């Protein structure tokens, strides 16, 4: 009996012109969006590689200790599946004075927006009259009178409708994914195919939530007109309002200080305050311990080198002086950095608490759960941001250590060598971003998977209960 | 025609649909104002913390725009702290104290409510204007009278438009009055003039979607088909066309990302400093002006090469996005709220010119005081006759064209 109801539902849908049109549109949009974004992704990859090369060559040719941090900024390459899930748009972060302002105002069309907005709406469009529409047409009475149990009818309608939605959707997604897989610039690995499969499963879950919503309101309304209004009301709240409002509400409930203010404080500590302390301590040292070197210290470089060459005892004394200067600078740098880091840590903790609160508030919407899982799976979201920051920080420390050792060995060889002189850094460690493994990407979002499942179960159960008491006349 | 309008109003005023849609609009406008004011208030607090002392000339920050409560647009962007120097401009990243989750979703301001929800309400209010009457069998009776088809359709359109726009404009007016009374918001003439333009634009925008719903209703025989088609067109015009426009423009615009330009600028500056220091190493008199000039030259070259490319990309994006009235409305509303793309460009241009005028003083190459930065925003008149005009004309044209098409379709509509 159940098989019969499912088959009837699928046949009815497949022969429906609006169904064919909806599927055709979603297929067209899916493939065109993936094709355009893949092209854009290829350009981004090329640009990223050329930027890396340019910066590397610059450090090889003009590397020096003083401005190493400034010249060795880590570039973040585009994620492999960014053509599918754009995630946090980096151009919209507007980090540069000359950034393009458009992405702040308007977002781009990707797989996520197609599934979250268009597929959810299509799901509602196909379920809102599944019960009330049949009642209006007088079919529902006949079907129930012919001995089909209510629960079989509802389960059959749900499964049949869902299958007829998911099959063409899966075909369009697979077509888009095939396009991705064939792109020479992307070079998908086995882990990427695993992620693509998970994205597909995730989309099924998401679509089933909205199919359930449509079915629920259909089973709670006497007419299709009422059902569509109620379903759309729920859709607007779940898709357009809750996800967008939650981050701002979290900021109201748990305000944090201005990031710019914290940056300014940190800058003052590691820059101006540090310079002042270093200057003071060097002056004190020169005036007390190395007063004899005062006439040499202010001379031009070549004269210092000549004086050191001609007088070995002066050379030894200057070497000691240079070493102590470096020790003072290193000690002050360490203290000031620790002070700034402490301020940063406190701020980071508060930001994380606000983010957690926003996550909790936003999880009331299936869309937010979908977006969080999809962006984390494809390494375009918040977790990937944290992952990248950690690796980038570790690399900065490793590079700093390497450059420091190199610099010290140069000073050892030539006491007059200073931090603005060329430093051969060709053997430096290179930054290689290691994407998180598939399990690492799934783990933080397990609650979101759970919430999506609960949503599907709740809406289906509510539809089931409502249909048991539905007046078919 | 007046009778038709009256009939439409009386028939729909007491319906379940009217209450649900008006309730939805009220809820969303309320949420939008509460959330947007909270966000604005945070930006004001940030501004007060970061505002440099009166004598500081190497830091610029512009106060948040009160109208950003209605359309946030680029206000958080424009209102960041700019640190100026002979080496160029640094912008403070992540100034806004909002968690990163907000970057994954849209901003729930009034612009969003009008652009997305008001348009949806308009389509849902009009989808059965013609085919619904046909299903009920009342269309035949209506057309059997002496009233011509065009007045019938115009009456229906006007009636449905009033049902959508009247509750909206009342709520909008209440919201505007409440916002004008809130702390940190100065509700002067400028505030009201700009909101009046936004209200008119919202009217035209809502009229476009009412006309679209009526057109669809005049093309099909069944309400269920009409609602499907209406929603499909709403999705197309509100989500697909603007977002796809941005995607296509970025793909074919062939403009390097700003990160590349920033890197080239940075490396050019380091190179200039490094080279000059190598030359200076053995000099008794140290003259660092050379570094400044070289860096300035590199900066100017990169800016002047990149800027026309960026302008072209923005132009192309605007042209593609304007295919939809939703895009034109977003541009118009943000410009009127002083949070649009042109405002962002104008602020950056003025900062750039300010550095250009004072570069030698910033680099200590010339004695004297650096002048104080004065931002002169475009006046209301300049904006209306300039940047807002194409969008305003588009918003006038779209409903007129759709009404024309709807009348054309209704003239050939079979009421049986």
Is B101 within 8 Å of chain A by CB?
A: yes
Q: Does the pLDDT of residue A343 top 70, yes or no? A: yes
In terms of domains, do A215 and A317 share one? no
Nearest to A224 among B101, B104, B224 (CB): B224
Is A185 within 8 Å of chain B by CB?
A: no
Which tokens go with A342?
């402490």
How far apart (Å, rounded) are the C-alpha atoms in residues B124 and B119? Answer: 9
CA distance B146 to chain A (A): 31
Is B281 in contact with A300 (Cβ distance < 8 A)?
A: yes
CA distance A290 to chain B (A): 23
Question: What mean pLDDT do residues B360-384 have?
Answer: 85
Is B99 in contact with A251 (Cβ distance < 8 A)?
A: yes
State percent of chain A over pLDDT 70: 100
Domain count, chain B: 1
Q: Note which residues in 219-248 of chain B have CB less than 8 A from chain A.
A: 223-225, 227-228, 231-232, 235, 239-240, 242-248
In terms of domains, do A370 and A334 share one? yes
Nearest to A58 among B225, B240, B267 (CB): B267
Is B124 in contact with A246 (Cβ distance < 8 A)?
A: no
Report pLDDT digits (tens) over B173-200.
Answer: 999 999 999 988 877 888 999 999 999 9
Per-residue model confidence (pLDDT) at position B408: 94
The verdict on residue A215 lying in a domain is yes
In terms of domains, do A218 and A338 share one? no
Report pLDDT digits (tens) over A288-337.
Answer: 888 888 888 778 878 888 888 888 888 888 889 988 998 999 999 999 99
Q: Is residue A59 within 8 Å of residue B271, measured between CB atoms?
A: no
Per-residue model confidence (pLDDT) at position A263: 81
In terms of domains, do A180 and A269 share one? no
CA distance A136 to chain B (A): 12
Report pLDDT digits (tens) over A436-450.
Answer: 989 999 999 999 999
Is B20 in contact with A233 (Cβ distance < 8 A)?
A: yes
How far apart (Å, rounded) are the C-alpha atoms in residues B208 and B214? Answer: 10
Nearest to B103 among A92, A95, A249 (CB): A92
State percent of chain A over pLDDT 90: 45
SS (H, E, C) B33-66: HHHHHHHHHHHHHHHHHHCCCCCCCCEECCCCCH
Is B277 in contact with A420 (Cβ distance < 8 A)?
A: yes
Domain range for residue B270? Answer: 2-411
Nearest to B24 among A92, A236, A264 (CB): A236
In terms of domains, do A171 and A314 share one? no
- Chain A residues in contact with B50 by the CB 8 A cut-off are 258, 260-261, 264
Q: Does the pLDDT of residue B86 top 90, yes or no? A: no
List, as own/partner pairs, every contact residues B386-393 make where C-beta atoms lie below 8 angstroms and the sequence separation is at least 24, other chains included. Answer: B387/B335, B387/B340, B387/B342, B388/B197, B388/B332, B388/B335, B388/B336, B390/B322, B390/B328, B391/B201, B391/B322, B391/B328, B391/B329, B391/B331, B391/B332, B391/B335, B392/B201, B392/B332
Is B257 in contact with A44 (Cβ distance < 8 A)?
A: yes
Q: What is the mean pLDDT of chain A?
A: 89
Q: Among A80-84, B17-21, B29-33, name the most confident range.
A: B29-33
Question: What mean pLDDT do residues A335-363 have?
Answer: 92
Nearest to A260 among B24, B81, B232 (CB): B81
Report pLDDT digits (tens) over B88-127.
Answer: 788 876 555 567 888 888 888 999 999 999 999 999 999 9
In terms of domains, do A140 and A193 share one? yes
Is B307 within 8 Å of chain A by CB?
A: yes
Per-residue model confidence (pLDDT) at position A60: 95
Is A301 in contact with B282 (Cβ distance < 8 A)?
A: yes
The verdict on residue A304 lying in a domain is yes
The verdict on residue B416 lying in a domain is no
- Chain B residues in contact with A95 by the CB 8 A cut-off are 91, 93, 258-259, 262
The verdict on residue A232 lying in a domain is yes
Per-residue model confidence (pLDDT) at position A108: 85
- Chain B residues in contact with A364 by the CB 8 A cut-off are none
The verdict on residue B248 lying in a domain is yes
Domain range for residue A337? Answer: 259-413
The verdict on residue B216 lying in a domain is yes
Is A27 within 8 Å of chain B by CB?
A: no
CA distance B148 to chain A (A): 29
Question: What mean pLDDT do residues B327-343 have?
Answer: 95
Per-residue model confidence (pLDDT) at position B96: 58
Is A45 within 8 Å of chain B by CB?
A: no
Q: Does the pLDDT of residue B333 top 90, yes or no? A: yes
Q: Is B91 helix (H, G, I), strand (E, B) or coil?
A: strand
Q: Does the pLDDT of residue B325 top 70, yes or no? A: yes
Determine which of A458-467, B76-85, B129-138, B288-297 has the lowest per-residue pLDDT on average. Answer: B288-297
Name the pLDDT band for A14 (thresholds 50, 70, 90): confident
In terms of domains, do A109 and A166 share one? yes
Name the pLDDT band for A226 (thresholds 50, 70, 90): confident
Is A224 within 8 Å of chain B by CB?
A: yes
Question: What mean pLDDT do residues B258-282 have?
Answer: 84
Name the pLDDT band for A80 (thresholds 50, 70, 90): confident
- Chain A residues in contact with B91 by the CB 8 A cut-off are 94-97
Q: Note which residues in 313-352 of chain A have CB less than 8 A from chain B.
A: 351
The verdict on residue B396 lying in a domain is yes
Per-residue model confidence (pLDDT) at position B146: 77
Q: Does the pLDDT of residue A77 top 60, yes or no? A: yes
Question: What mean pLDDT do residues B212-234 have?
Answer: 91
Tokens 């606000």 sit on residue: A354
Per-residue model confidence (pLDDT) at position B97: 57
Per-residue model confidence (pLDDT) at position B284: 64
The verdict on residue A225 lying in a domain is yes
The verdict on residue A428 lying in a domain is no
In terms of domains, do A185 and A330 share one? no
Is A248 in contact with B39 (Cβ distance < 8 A)?
A: yes
Q: Note which residues in 181-200 of chain B have CB less than 8 A from chain A.
A: none
In terms of domains, do A88 and A12 share one? yes
- Please give the residue that has the higher pLDDT: either A151 or B86: A151
Per-residue model confidence (pLDDT) at position B101: 84
The verdict on residue A393 lying in a domain is yes
- Chain A residues in contact with B74 by the CB 8 A cut-off are 101, 104-105
Is B263 in contact with A51 (Cβ distance < 8 A)?
A: yes
In terms of domains, do A233 and A297 share one? no
The verdict on residue A219 lying in a domain is yes
CA distance B85 to chain A (A): 13
Name the pLDDT band for A356 (thresholds 50, 70, 90): very high
Per-residue model confidence (pLDDT) at position B370: 83
β partners of residue A111: none
The verdict on residue A325 lying in a domain is yes
Domain count, chain A: 2
- Please give the residue that has the higher pLDDT: either A17 or B374: B374
In terms of domains, do A292 and A201 share one? no
Is B31 in contact with A241 (Cβ distance < 8 A)?
A: yes
How far apart (Å, rounded) are the C-alpha atoms in residues B405 and B212? Answer: 9
- Chain A residues in contact with B246 by the CB 8 A cut-off are 102-103, 106-109
Report pLDDT digits (tens) over B55-69.
Answer: 888 889 999 999 999
In terms of domains, do A221 and A74 share one? yes
Neighbours of A381 (CB within 10 A): 26
Per-residue model confidence (pLDDT) at position B274: 87
Report pLDDT digits (tens) over A361-407.
Answer: 999 999 999 999 999 999 999 899 889 999 999 999 999 999 999 99
């Amino acid at each position: 009996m159940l098989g019969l109801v499912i088959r009837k539902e699928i046949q009815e849908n497949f022969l429906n012109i609006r169904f064919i049109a909806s599927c055709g549109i979603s297929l067209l949009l899916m493939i065109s969006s993936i094709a355009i974004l893949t092209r854009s992704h290829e350009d981004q990859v090329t640009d990223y590689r050329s930027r890396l090369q340019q910066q590397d060559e610059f450090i090889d040719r003009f590397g020096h200790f003083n401005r190493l941090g400034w010249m060795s900024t880590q570039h973040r390459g585009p994620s492999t599946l960014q053509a599918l899930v754009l995630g946090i748009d980096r151009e919209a972060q507007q980090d540069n004075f000359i950034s393009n302002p458009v992405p702040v105002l308007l977002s781009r069309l990707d797989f996520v927006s197609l599934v979250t907005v268009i597929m959810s709406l299509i799901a509602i469009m196909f379920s809102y009259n599944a019960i009330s529409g049949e009642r209006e047409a007088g079919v529902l009475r006949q079907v129930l009178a012919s001995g089909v149990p209510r629960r079989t009818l509802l389960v059959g309608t749900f499964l049949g409708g869902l299958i007829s939605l998911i099959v063409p959707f899966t075909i369009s997604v697979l077509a888009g994914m095939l396009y991705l897989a064939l792109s020479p610039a992307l070079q998908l690995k086995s882990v990427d195919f695993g992620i693509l499969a998970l994205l597909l499963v995730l989309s099924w879950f998401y679509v089933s939530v909205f199919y359930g919503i449509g079915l629920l309101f259909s089973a709670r309304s006497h007419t299709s007109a009422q059902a569509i209004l109620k379903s759309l009301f729920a859709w607007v709240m779940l898709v357009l309002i809750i996800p967008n409002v939650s981050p701002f509400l979290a900021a109201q409930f748990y305000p944090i200080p201005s990031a710019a203010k914290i940056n300014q404080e940190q800058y003052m500590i590691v820059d101006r305050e540090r310079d002042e302390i270093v200057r003071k301590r060097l002056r004190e040292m020169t005036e007390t311990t190395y007063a004899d070197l005062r006439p040499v210290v202010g001379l031009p470089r070549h004269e210092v080198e000549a004086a050191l060459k001609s007088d070995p005892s002066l050379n030894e004394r200057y070497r000691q002086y240079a070493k102590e200067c470096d020790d003072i600078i290193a000690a002050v740098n360490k203290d000031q950095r620790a002070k700034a880091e402490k301020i940063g840590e406190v701020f980071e903790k508060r930001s994380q608490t606000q983010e957690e609160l926003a996550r909790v508030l936003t999880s009331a919407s299936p869309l937010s759960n979908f977006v969080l899982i999809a962006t984390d799976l494809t390494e375009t979201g918040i977790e990937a941001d944290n992952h990248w920051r950690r690796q980038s920080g570790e690399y900065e420390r490793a590079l700093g250590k390497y450059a420091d050792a190199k610099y010290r060995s140069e000073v050892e060889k030539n006491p007059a060598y200073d931090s603005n002189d060329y430093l051969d850094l060709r053997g430096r460690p290179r930054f290689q971003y290691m994407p998180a493994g598939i399990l690492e990407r799934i783990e933080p979002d397990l609650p979101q998977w759970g919430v999506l499942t609960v949503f599907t179960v709740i809406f289906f159960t509510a539809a089931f209960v409502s249909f048991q008491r539905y007046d078919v006349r | 025609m007046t009778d038709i309008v009256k009939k439409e109003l009386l028939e729909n005023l007491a319906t379940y649909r009217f209450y649900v849609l008006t309730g939805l609009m009220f809820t969303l406008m309320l949420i939008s104002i509460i959330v947007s004011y909270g966000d604005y208030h945070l930006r004001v607090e940030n501004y007060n913390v970061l505002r440099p002392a009166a004598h500081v000339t190497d830091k610029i920050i512009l106060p948040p725009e009160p109208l950003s409560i209605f359309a946030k647009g680029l206000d958080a962007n424009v209102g960041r702290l700019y640190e100026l120097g002979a080496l160029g401009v640094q912008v403070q990243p992540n100034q806004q104290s909002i968690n990163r989750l907000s970057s994954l979703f849209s901003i729930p301001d009034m612009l969003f409510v009008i652009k997305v929800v008001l348009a949806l309400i308009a389509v849902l209010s009009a989808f059965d204007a013609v085919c619904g009457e046909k299903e009920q069998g009342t269309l035949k009776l209506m057309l059997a009278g002496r009233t011509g088809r065009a007045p019938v359709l115009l009456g229906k359109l006007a009636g449905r438009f009033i049902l959508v726009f009247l509750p909206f404009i009342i709520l909008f007016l209440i919201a505007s009055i409440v916002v004008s009374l809130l702390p940190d918001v100065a509700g002067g003439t400028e505030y009201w003039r700009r909101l009046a333009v936004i209200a008119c634009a919202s009217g035209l925008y809502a009229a476009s979607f009412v006309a679209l719903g009526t057109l669809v209703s005049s093309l099909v025989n069944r309400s269920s088909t009409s609602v499907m088609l209406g929603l499909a067109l709403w999705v197309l015009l509100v989500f697909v066309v603007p977002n796809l426009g941005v995607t296509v423009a970025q793909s074919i615009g062939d403009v390097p990302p700003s990160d590349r330009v920033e890197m080239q600028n940075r490396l050019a500056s380091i190179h200039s400093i490094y080279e000059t220091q190598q030359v200076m190493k053995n000099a008794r008199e140290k003259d660092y002006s050379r570094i400044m000039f070289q860096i300035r030259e590199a900066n100017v070259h990169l800016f002047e090469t990149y800027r026309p490319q960026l302008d072209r990309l923005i132009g192309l994006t605007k042209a593609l996005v304007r295919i939809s009235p939703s895009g034109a409305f977003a541009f118009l509303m943000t410009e009127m709220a002083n949070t649009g793309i042109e405002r962002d460009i104008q602020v950056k241009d003025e900062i750039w010119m300010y550095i250009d005028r004072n570069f030698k003083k910033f680099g200590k190459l010339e004695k004297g005081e650096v002048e104080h930065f004065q931002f002169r925003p475009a006046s209301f008149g300049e904006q209306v006759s300039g940047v807002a005009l194409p969008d305003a004309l588009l918003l006038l044209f779209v409903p007129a064209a759709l009404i024309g098409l709807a009348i054309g379709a209704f003239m050939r509509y079979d009421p049986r």
